[in-house]
A and B are shown apart, each in its own frame.
Chain A
Amino acid sequence: DARVTQTPRHKVTEMGQEVTMRCQPILGHNTVFWYRQTMMQGLELLAYFRNRAPLDDSGMPKDRFSAEMPDATLATLKIQPSEPRDSAVYFCASGFATEQFFGPGTRLTVL
């Protein structure tokens, strides 16, 4: 049963610390997405990759967020330095324009 996996599932950190979230997309999916979900803003697309190349990261605050795909089995989202307003659930998804498969999310709390 192929699934998108994400680690960690929960992260509590202090303002100013670096946070790294990891995602393993479903094998064979060449498009990977990072979303952020909050009560106020809903689900926002932060960045996405196709064949490991970043296609659009306009949804990310560039000064503190970075997204990479070191290889086809790993996508990372980093926040440095983290701020309380970054507290949210971060989802990774892989798939296609006709269907996306979501991971379970990383719940980030920045104190």
Chain B
Amino acid sequence: SQQGEEDPQALSIQEGENATMNCSYKTSINNLQWYRQNSGRGLVHLILIRSNEREKHSGRLRVTLDTSKKSSSLLITASRAADTASYFCATNSGYSTLTFGKGTMLLVSP
């Protein structure tokens, strides 16, 4: 069953704009991760934020976590056409497994 739910389901922007995707989850977590999936490929790990962290940066990625609201956001700044992909949040609740949301499809047009 899905724990994370991404919002929006699809997002279309122009190159250079920022893209923001949100994720809500239901139960307490140890960490939350974001993954990217290019069409026809496997998922690739982007960034992890632990439950005691509020914000994390990696290159053009910025992730926030609000455990009181059980939500996270992924911001991609200065987007590029190569960022076109589906983005998934995944929650870890203390075991080895992750529970994935259904993803946000991001289209970045040149």
Contacts and interface: CB of A to CB of B under 8 A. Distances in A.
A43 B42 contact: no
Interface residues of A, number: 23
Given A42-B100, A42-B102, A50-B96, A99 B42 contact: no
Interface stretch (A11-19, A68-76, A77-85, A100-108): A100-108
A67 interface: no
Interface string B70-110: 00000000000000000010001011111111110000000
> Interface of chain A, helix or strand or loop or mixed?
strand
Interface of chain B, helix or strand or loop or mixed? loop
A26 interface: no
B100 A98 contact: no
Contacts, number: 54
A50 B45 CA distance: 20
A43 B100 contact: yes
Nearest to B103: A42
Interface residues of B, number: 23
Nearest to B43: A102
B39 to A, nearest CB: 11
Contacts of A45: 97-99
B97 A105 contact: no
Interface string B16-36: 000000000000001101000
24 contacts: A4-B42, A42-B100, A42-B101, A42-B102, A42-B103, A43-B88, A43-B102, A45-B97, A55-B96, A91-B42, A93-B43, A96-B96, A97-B31, A97-B92, A97-B98, A98-B31, A98-B33, A98-B48, A98-B92, A100-B43, A101-B45, A102-B44, A104-B42, A105-B40
Given A35-B100, A42-B100, A99-B45, 12 more contacts: A33-B97, A42-B2, A43-B100, A45-B98, A48-B96, A48-B97, A50-B96, A91-B43, A97-B98, A98-B33, A102-B43, A102-B44
